[in-house]
Amino acid sequence: MSHERANIRRMAGYTWGEQPDDARTIKLNTNENPYPPAPGVQTALRGIDVAVLRTYPQPTADRLRDRLAALHGIDRGQLIVTHGGDEALRLAMTTFVDPGAAFGMADPSYSLYPVLAEIQDARIVRIPLDDAWQLPADCAAQLNAAHVRLACIVNPHAPSGVLLDRGTIARLAEGFHGVLLVDEAYVDFVDPARGHDLVPLVHRFDNLLLLRTFSKGYSLAGLRLGYLIGAAPLIEPLVTKTRDSYNIDAISQLLGEAAVVERAYAEETWRRVREDRARLRAGLEQLGFVAPDSETNFLLPRVPAGSLLCAAELYAALKSRGILVRHFPVPPLADALRITVGTTEQNQRLLDTLQLLQSG
């Protein structure tokens, strides 16, 4: 006899990226930063007195909130720290979407979005992207017509890496009647020359939330730390009502502070990733693959027509040779591989292996 709610029984859970079980396998499948965290994070970890674990942590991570608020030029009340970006998404879903109401998302997008919507028993409204991975001009109108309460847009986009500019996001926030959450998990890897910054928009729009994470840019995926930025009336119920009690442990708060203090170190890793991204894309193009112009730490190359192996077969062949990438067997992604930018050496190993596989 099943005791699950009916909607939980019907749904499928989130499928996470594979984890290697040997030291030689390289992970180019889960979009981690290939470089270690800042040295100050290691120093802070070594200096932790286990006695602090006897008591509960500061409930709302206020010291870390203050550092992040200063970084972004906002007030503490415009920011909440969360247990990874995924908790931020779950909080937004719980707070703003009634069971049975509509949730909106681009298609394709982050595969956790529909899982969280199904848990909430929400109706999912998918807005298909065009061939250039852009939202339709009438996106806001489509969302409003479907009475969407919350819409999540990952920007730069996953899995393509394509960036929507500030004007596009502003028009969407202005036209949409619900809450717009822009998932900026990969924004740290955007080329600084583009001058891309959405934070000023939270002062213009009271329905806009921006999600940030320490997992990618700060090399702290194993820590599970993220945050949301938005107008104070949007943030307040998340902090005081729907957030888990003591959701950020004492160790995570300390290490998060250390990472922000040494942001310059993280910025240097972002620069290295951008350089390696360009070299990897060029190498893939020499092999016949075509990838969109990515502003993230991954690429989405399409397997060339006439290839000896299709995308699914290449994924399996790479895995058998100790290289993990991601393949999504659904249109319009079935003929592509999502490849995380690794170190220079890891990227070259991938390219060499692909050349070998493509040559037969």
Q: Which fold has domain 6-37+264-359?
A: Aspartate Aminotransferase, domain 1 (3.90.1150)
Beta strands in the chain (DSSP E): 26-27, 79-82, 102-107, 123-128, 148-154, 179-183, 208-213, 226-230, 298-299, 323-324, 339-340
Q: Which fold has domain 39-262?
A: Aspartate Aminotransferase; domain 2 (3.40.640)
Instruction: Answer yes or no: same fold for 6-37+264-359 and 39-262.
Output: no
Q: Residue 306 and residue 318: Cα distance in Å, rounded?
A: 19
Could you tell me which of 329, 326, 218 has the C-alpha nearest to residue 273?
A: 218
pLDDT band at 306 (very low <50, low <70, confident <90, very high): confident
pLDDT band at 255 (very low <50, low <70, confident <90, very high): very high
**DSSP bridge partners of 126:** 105
Asked if residues 209 and 95 have their Cβ atoms less than 8 Å apart, the reply is: no
Longest dimension (CA), the chain: 62
Asked if residues 216 and 186 have their Cβ atoms less than 8 Å apart, the reply is: yes
Could you tell me which of 146, 189, 172, 176 has the C-alpha nearest to residue 294?
A: 189
Structural domain boundaries of the chain?
6-37+264-359, 39-262
Q: Residue 202 and residue 223: Cα distance in Å, rounded?
A: 27
CB under 8 Å to 100, separation ≥6 — which residues? 121, 122, 123
Mean pLDDT over each residue of the chain, to the nearest integer: 97
Would you say residue 59 has pLDDT above 80?
Answer: yes
The tens digit of pLDDT for each residue in 105-152 reads 999 999 999 999 999 999 999 999 999 999 999 999 999 999 999 999
pTM over 0.85: yes
Asked if residues 148 and 103 have their Cβ atoms less than 8 Å apart, the reply is: yes
Q: SS3 of 124, please?
A: strand
pLDDT score recorded for residue 2: 81
For residues 306 and 180, the model is more confident at: 180
**Percent of the chain predicted with pLDDT > 90:** 96
pLDDT score recorded for residue 22: 87
Q: Residue 360 and residue 358: Cα distance in Å, rounded?
A: 5
Distances (CA, A) of 308 to 130, 305, 317, 323, 354: 28, 9, 12, 19, 11
Would you say residue 3 has pLDDT above 80?
Answer: yes
Would you say residue 182 has pLDDT above 80?
Answer: yes
Neighbours of 178 (CB within 10 A): 21
**DSSP bridge partners of 57:** none
The interaxial angle of helices 263-286 and 250-261, nearest 10 deg, is: 80
pLDDT score recorded for residue 269: 98
Would you say residue 1 has pLDDT above 80?
Answer: no
pLDDT score recorded for residue 359: 85
Query: In residues, how long is the chain?
Result: 360
Handedness of CA 28, 261, 56, 232 (dihedral sign): negative
The tens digit of pLDDT for each residue in 71-110 reads 999 999 999 999 999 999 999 999 999 999 999 999 999 9
Could you tell me which of 219, 285, 279 has the C-alpha nearest to residue 40?
A: 219
